[in-house]
Structure 1
Amino acid sequence: MDLTINASFLPQDDPDAALTFYRDILGFEVRNDVGYDGMRWITVGPPGQPSTAIVLHPPAVDPGITEDERRTIVEMMAKGTYAGLVLATKDVDETFAKLQDSTAEVVQEPTDQPYGIRDCAVRDPAGNLLRIQEVK
């Protein structure tokens, strides 16, 4: 098999805040911005990587989800325990300094993890946890 990751999905509950965070703070390109029935899906991705994308979608829009499940998802998003993503950078300290100067919610400063990775963590406006690992 020859598989690659094409898109990951993260919920967002404020499309404008999500757009500002992913485009203006992280520097991702906006690939698509689609509205339907009062909701908005935004696709972003890192410059120079056109086949890798993150779809920022309204939470719990699946018609098969019950109201209780929808409420649980929204509660988990508010706590920052629903979704996450791991990003990579060549210099985590430099990246963290830029994030610290922004509106990103810092969860963990750059740390040498016991499993051999140096990383930091922030939350996006919807509460999604983003770990940023240093890769050489």
Structure 2
Amino acid sequence: MKKSSLLTLAAFSGAVAVALTGCAGGSTDGGGATDGGDAAGDAGRACVILPDAASSPRWENFDRKYLQEGLEGAGFDVDIQNAQGDVNQYSTIADQQLTQGCGVMLLVDYQGAAEAVAEKATAQGIPVIAYDRPFAGADY
């Protein structure tokens, strides 16, 4: 049973990475960055926020590893962080990631925190993927 779950998770992570490949291409039509050239270089950066480590060991023991491998395999620079069950930390991580630039955000919602992050990302033209848990404002 465990092996089946791991294979399912690996397959899903690979599918997410393949789907994100379209996001990595970015757009050079000038509609992205308003502050210079930084955002154009960030089109291939995937920003991921995991919810915690306490509710399930899977987030750090499995999801992080497979997301890292899958996203890097699809050509992304990857920034995966864990909010450690803290809504305020979730928001802080998101603000830092958005400031540093993201081509795509992959979020696991934690107590509704992903909705505000999705709103900020969407305002910057960054596609948002709801991973594991659906939430309002996600593009995928």
- Is TM (by shorter chain) over 0.5? no
**Between structures 1 and 2, the one with greater helix share:** 2
Larger radius of gyration: 1
Between structures 1 and 2, the one with greater strand share: 1
TM-score when normalising by structure 2: 0.30
TM-score, length basis structure 1: 0.31
